[in-house]
Amino acid sequence: MEAEGEGEGEAAAAGEGESEGGSSALEPALAHARSLLVIDGLLRAAEAQRGSGEDAAELIEEAAELAEHGLEGALAGELYERIEELEAAADDQGFAELHERLAAARAEATAADRLEAISLGLRAAGEHYAEAVTDGAVSDRTEYLEAFGIYEAVKAEADALAASDEAAVAEVGAEVRAQIEEAGAAFGGSAGEDITTPEASLLHAAAARVELSALSCADPMVHVIGGVLDSHEVAALREAIEALEFEDGRRTAGRYAKGVKSNEQAADTPAREAIFAKVRKALSANEVFTSVARPRKFARMLVSRYGPGMAYGTHVDDPIMKGSRTDMSFTLFLSETDSYEGGGLVMEDAIEERVIRLEPGDLVLYPTSALHRVEPVEQGTRVAVVGWVTSWVRSAERREVLHDLDVAARASSTARASRRPSIDCSRPRATSTGCGLPTEGISAAVRCGAAAPCFAFGDGYGSCRSQTIASSAAPSIQIPITAAAAMALRGRARDRAASRNSCMSGAGISRCASMIPSGTISRSSN
């Protein structure tokens, strides 16, 4: 029954510069999803103003411009042409067909990206609304129409998620739809008459609640750490690995895992052990890795190699290896992403499967109990070092709390050093955030919306907010934090009270969960 990690495991049972539409701070897939939503919103606003002439024409023109410059590929040209045609005709059928086409394009994105695009759309609507409404009345009609149209598009997208065939997605979609509906009090129809609550904060609060709903669907304990090895270290390891002898990877797989495993592993030689020593040294010196994993020992490491046609089916890593408990598993990527096709590491969560392909030198760290697989390599060769860690802290929840405290301490230290009440997150840096998620320069595009040095709590879109989090054991700490993260802190702090009280004295700090991916992380087609 024993088996190990991405390299080995127990097989699972069968069946088991900114524009309106995006920003350079957003990953391409998310910026694309947001642009589609805003385009749809502009068209909905124009549709509501048909017959008013100037307002409708201006909105349609803005939608066409965003399609041309905010999207890429054939879709950009197609939508631009169809919107231009709509400007001439502006009939019911033309609007209906465009709404349908935009909805179909949005449906191609991952559920996580669609949820975050809804949140971003609500924030965009809130920004327009703040410019449009003064003293409870509409002072800028165009800004109001844009806010109203985007809000309507966001509702339609939530309805589409709620109608999903996937039960988990449908459940979250229905929850998000209810949260969005609460913000409707800010509007009085397309004309802005009889506004019940003229507050842009309703839209921003709804965005925060949507973020939190999305976070609750993702695995909070998967960490991607960028730059564990630099380019010279990666090149040296690859050169050393090329000289190793390889054998059938099934030699070390468990009885059931042998049936789903097809790869090669480096044979046990002094040269292989020298490679492992270098990896152990790099990981032991990495602050994020040690903060998350709290490594007592490295239970085992392997060098895995996948050639064309090789794969590793769905499995769970063995909890005991060579007599040692395995708490966390990791994959350290060594191959250039453009040197092979396929071969993604697929992680599963409550919503969907996601494929992780990282740049050489980057690492993904995840619970040993996580269900995962390696997709077939279609072309080229995929090489990685995989390993398992025995932590000083057996409880995953307690490890996360300790990591949260590290994040808070670093953020507080940075704030004191800069002598500012909040930390400027306008320039993301190539490092791992406190969520263990990369901010820049990592192809995976796994994100929690944070930008170092804001760690887990920056919003990642150019600003941070500070909120005091009280601790009964220490003075209050100023930590940059989003509204969604603030809500998560309160709820998760309560949920973790038992484990928190047994490992520390009353610090009410939790972490934000990961928003998974866009870019090279995508829904599995399997």
What is the per-residue pLDDT across 261-288, written as a single tens digit (0 to 9) for each? 999 999 999 999 999 999 999 999 999 9
Same domain, 58 and 147: yes
Paired strand residues for 479: 467
- Whether residue 353 is contained in a domain is answered as yes
Q: Quick one: pLDDT at residue 26?
A: 64
Quick one: 174 and 256 in the same domain? Answer: no
- Res 2 pLDDT > 80: no
Q: Residue 298 belongs to what domain range? A: 223-394
Same domain, 137 and 34: yes
Question: Does residue 382 have a known ligand-binding role?
Answer: yes
Of 159, 181, 215, the one marking the end of a domain is 215
* Alpha-carbon span 278 to 261, nearest angstrom: 27
Residue 241: predicted pLDDT: 97
- Domain presence at residue 20: no
User: pLDDT by residue (tens digit) across 174-185?
Assistant: 989 998 998 888
Final residue in a domain of this structure, among 145, 180, 215:
215
| 221 pLDDT tier (thresholds 50, 70, 90) | confident
Joined together, the tokens standing for residue 424 give 């400027």
Query: What average pLDDT does range 88-99 have in this prediction?
Result: 81
Q: Mean pLDDT across the stretch 320-345?
A: 94
**Domain match, 274 and 382 both:** yes
pLDDT at position 507, please?
28
Report pLDDT for 153.
94
Region class of 327: left (phi > 0), else alpha (psi between -120 and 50), else beta? alpha
- pLDDT on residue 304: 97
Confirm whether 495 is domain-assigned.
no
525, pLDDT greater than 70: no
The residue with greater pLDDT, 311 or 438, is 311
> How many domains is the chain built from?
2
Q: What is the 3-state secondary structure (H, E, C) of 221-254?
A: CCEEECCCCCHHHHHHHHHHHHCCCEEEHHHHCC
Residue type, 50: R
The residue from 163, 190, 215 where one domain ends is 215
Amino acid at 141: R
Residues 184 and 203 reside in one and the same domain: yes
Regarding predicted confidence, which is higher, 49 or 186?
A: 186
How high is the pLDDT of residue 407? 80
Q: Is the residue at 45 inside a domain?
A: yes
Residue 191 pLDDT more than 90?
A: no
Is the domain of 197 the same as that of 274?
no
pLDDT bin (cut points 50, 70, 90) of residue 354 is: confident
Query: Of the candidates 384, 292, 376, 336, which has an alpha carbon nearest to the alpha carbon of residue 5?
Result: 384
- The CATH number for 364's domain is 2.60.120.620
pLDDT at 272: 97
**Are 56 and 201 in the same domain?**
yes
Q: Does the annotation list 128 as a binding residue?
A: no
Of 322, 464, 459, give the one whose Cα is nearest residue 390: 322
pLDDT score for 149: 92
- pLDDT score recorded for residue 441: 31
Tokens representing residue 450 in the block: 């944070």
Residue 121 is assigned to a structural domain of this protein: yes
Give the best-scoring range by mean pLDDT among 215-219, 383-387, 474-478. Answer: 383-387
58 or 501, higher pLDDT: 58
pLDDT score of 252: 76
Q: What is the pLDDT of residues 300-328, one digit of tens each?
A: 999 999 999 999 998 888 888 988 999 99
313 located within any domain: yes
Joined tokens for residue 165: 């065939």
Mark whether 196 and 328 lie in a shared domain.
no
In a domain, 82, yes or no: yes
Residue 316: closest CA among 95, 4, 40, 41: 4
Under the banding of pLDDT at 50, 70 and 90, the label for residue 152 is: very high
Residue 463 is predicted with a pLDDT of 26
Residue 169 pLDDT: 85
CA distances from 396 to 96, 319, 436 (A): 49, 13, 15
How far is residue 302's CA from residue 273's CA, in Å, rounded to a whole number? 10
Read off the pLDDT band of 88 (50, 70, 90).
Answer: low
Q: Looking at the structure, do residues 198 and 234 belong to the same domain, yes or no?
A: no
296 known member of a binding site: no
Question: What is the share, in percent, of the chain residues with pLDDT greater than 70?
Answer: 69
Least confident residue range of 101-115, 404-418, 487-501: 487-501
What pLDDT score does 51 carry?
Answer: 64
Instruction: Report the pLDDT value the prediction gives residue 106, as an integer from 0 to 100.
Output: 92
Instruction: Tell me what pLDDT residue 214 has.
Output: 67
Mean pLDDT of 38-66: 85
Do 206 and 120 belong together in one domain?
yes
The answer to whether 364 and 356 are in contact (CB under 8 A) is yes
Question: What pLDDT is attached to residue 478?
Answer: 30
Determine whether the annotation assigns residue 32 to a binding site.
no
Same domain, 162 and 310: no
pLDDT recorded at residue 485: 40
Answer yes or no: do 101 and 149 share one domain. Answer: yes
For the chain, helix, strand, coil in percent to 5 are 45, 20, 35
Label residue 476 by pLDDT band (50, 70, 90): very low
pLDDT-wise least confident of 27-31, 159-163, 401-405, 437-441:
437-441
Separation CA 328–CA 408 (nearest Å): 23
Arithmetic mean of pLDDT, 121-128: 92
* Range scoring the smallest mean pLDDT among 57-66, 185-194, 278-287, 441-450: 441-450
Tell me phi and psi for residue 525, to 5 degrees.
-90, -5
- Polymer length in residues for the chain: 526
The label of the residue with tokens 């040269």 reads 271
- Centroid of chain to Cα 194: 39
Whether the Cβ atoms of residue 444 and residue 521 lie closer than 8 Å to each other: yes
In a domain, 310, yes or no: yes
Asked whether 269 and 244 are in contact (CB, 8 A), the reply is yes
Residue with the larger pLDDT of the pair 284 and 474: 284
Q: Quick one: pLDDT band at residue 351, thresholds 50, 70, 90?
A: low
